[in-house]
Amino acid sequence: MKKIYSLLLLTVVILCSCDNNDDNSPIIDSTTVVLNLQGKLDKPESEFTGVFKNEPVGTYSYKNTFVDQTGYFVFDNYTASSLSFGGGFTYTNKTDTTTLNYTNNSAIIGTGKNSATYMTVNPSAYATDNFHFAGNASHIIKGMYVTNSTYAYLAMKNGFNGAKKFVAGNWFKLTATGLDEKGNTTGTAEIYLADYRDGKNIMLNKWTWFDLSALGKVAEVKFSMSSTDNDPVWGMNTPAYFCMDGITIEL
């Protein structure tokens, strides 16, 4: 009986291991650290809003810095005067996959990859779109999981407030650029959050592994977003938001 139980247990472990890695995600061991946001929020349907203070006219937000539960990952958040997410990075456990509005920071999946809490990112000219490591350390980043925010996904799917509904030929891309301690570029990587080129019909609505190994050893990572839907004056019409989880670095 003990032998049968042991064989069943081994089978379960093997099946679970295969399932966890069928999307090309990395094997996690003692040589890696994974972003951990579990326990950062104590209420459901909430998000990190930081602290706002009055600043000179023309400055719409206040900069806050936070770290994840491992203490390795450091992010900048910009809180708007309305005490809402103003840009940069935030973390949330919101599950709203239906509201099409810039105030909705939910992932289109409505939950994180590794826990209920995940990150939403808005790289913009008003915010620092880099993340770095505690103690000014440098690390090799294996990659991370990404998906569309509800706001961007529904805007591309249906069109909204100047953003066009995506048709054949359209695309929406996330680019990650690695920087060393002197600010020099170490490498780049990109992933399409939506891709309607060459007969494809892809708009990410699941957590997808984004391989960042091409960045090499980095002190920080800069994110930028681009799209085929642009205004000649105001720039990109597609909402510049994406969601991420499970950033994995080598020690």
Q: What is the mean pLDDT of residues 152-170?
A: 97
Report the alpha-carbon distance of residue 210 to residue 192 in Å, rounded: 10
Q: Which residues touch 122 (CB under 8 Å, ≥6 apart)?
A: 85, 87, 88, 240, 241
65-79 burial, b at 16+ Cβ within 10 Å, e below that, comes to ebebeeebbbbbbbb
Least confident among 1-15, 62-76, 146-160, 174-188: 1-15
Is residue 20 over pLDDT 50?
no
Backbone conformation region of residue 185, classed left if phi is above 0, alpha if psi is from -120 to 50, else beta: beta
Q: 163: buried, middle or exposed (CB in 10 Å: 19+, 13-18, 0-12)?
A: buried
Specify the pairing of strand 85-92 against strand 202-203: unpaired
Is residue 53 over pLDDT 90?
no
29-250, superfamily in CATH?
Protein of unknown function DUF4465 (2.60.120.1350)
Domain ranges of the chain: 29-250
User: Among the residues of the chain, which ranges form H helices?
Assistant: 2-20, 150-158
Task: Give 79's strand partners.
Answer: 62, 85
Is residue 95 over pLDDT 80?
yes
CA distances from 176 to 36, 71, 191, 220 (A): 20, 22, 9, 10
Residue 220: CB atoms within 10 Å: 19
Report the candidate in 235, 103, 229 with the shortest Cα–Cα distance to residue 156. Answer: 229
Is residue 184 over pLDDT 70?
yes
Is residue 13 over pLDDT 80?
no
pTM of the model: 0.87
The CA-to-CA distance between both ends of the chain, in Å, stands at: 42
**Predicted confidence band at 86 (pLDDT cuts at 50, 70, 90)?**
confident
Give yes or no for a contact between 210 and 189, defined as CB atoms under 8 angstroms apart: yes
Higher pLDDT, 80 or 13: 80
Report the alpha-carbon distance of residue 31 to residue 161 in Å, rounded: 46
Report the alpha-carbon distance of residue 209 to residue 146 in Å, rounded: 6
